Amino acid sequence: QKEVEQNSGPLSVPEGAIASLNCTYSDRVSQSFFWYRQYSGKSPELIMSIYSNGDKEDGRFTAQLNKASQYVSLLIRDSQPSDSATYLCAVNTGGGATNKLIFGTGTLLAVQP
């Protein structure tokens, strides 16, 4: 079993719709979870971070965390063509103050105009 799993997609949604991206992880003691966006040929950039169970909203983006189910999700409201990219779920498995991000394989999102 991979440590962090995502559906590879592609996930195709029409402009203005809600895109829902999902991620599961295997390390029960992980405390920090991140969503990165990566455009083709570019490096990853952070979209959202979440550390506590529940929802965290930032503009059109909402991250949801359920530690009991070992599940993280990202909702993108009012999807725009510029949101078309690969979305990477990452879990910090380093422990303490250290950094060891384990990434899922990414979900390719295509927003159709």
Partner 1 sequence: KAGVTQTPRYLIKTRGQQVTLSCSPISGHRSVSWYQQTPGQGLQFLFEYFSETQRNKGNFPGRFSGRQFSNSRSEMNVSTLELGDSALYLCASSPGGSGRETQYFGPGTRLLVL
Residue 92 engages partner 1 in binding (rule: CB under 8 A): yes
- Distance, in Å, from the CA atom of 32 to the CA atom of 50, rounded to the nearest integer, reads 6
Residue 43 engages partner 1 in binding (rule: CB under 8 A): yes
CB atoms within 10 A of CB 47: 20
Residue 58 engages partner 1 in binding (rule: CB under 8 A): no
Is 78 in a helix, a strand, or coil?
A: coil
CB-nearer residue toward partner 1: 1 or 43: 43
The number of C-alpha atoms within 13 Å of 85 and in the hemisphere containing its C-beta is: 20
Interface with partner 1 (CB under 8 A), residue from 44, 65, 85, 109:
44
**Minimum separation from the CB atom of position 17 to partner 1 (A):** 26
Is 83 in a helix, a strand, or coil?
A: helix
CB-nearer residue toward partner 1: 21 or 88: 88
Residue 7 engages partner 1 in binding (rule: CB under 8 A): no
Is the Cβ–Cβ distance between 21 and 106 less than 8 Å?
Answer: no
Interface with partner 1 (CB under 8 A), residue from 34, 63, 74, 87:
34
- Distance, in Å, from the CA atom of 57 to the CA atom of 41, rounded to the nearest integer, reads 28
Report the interface residues with partner 1, using CB under 8 A.
Answer: 31-32, 34, 42-46, 49, 51, 88, 90, 92, 94-106
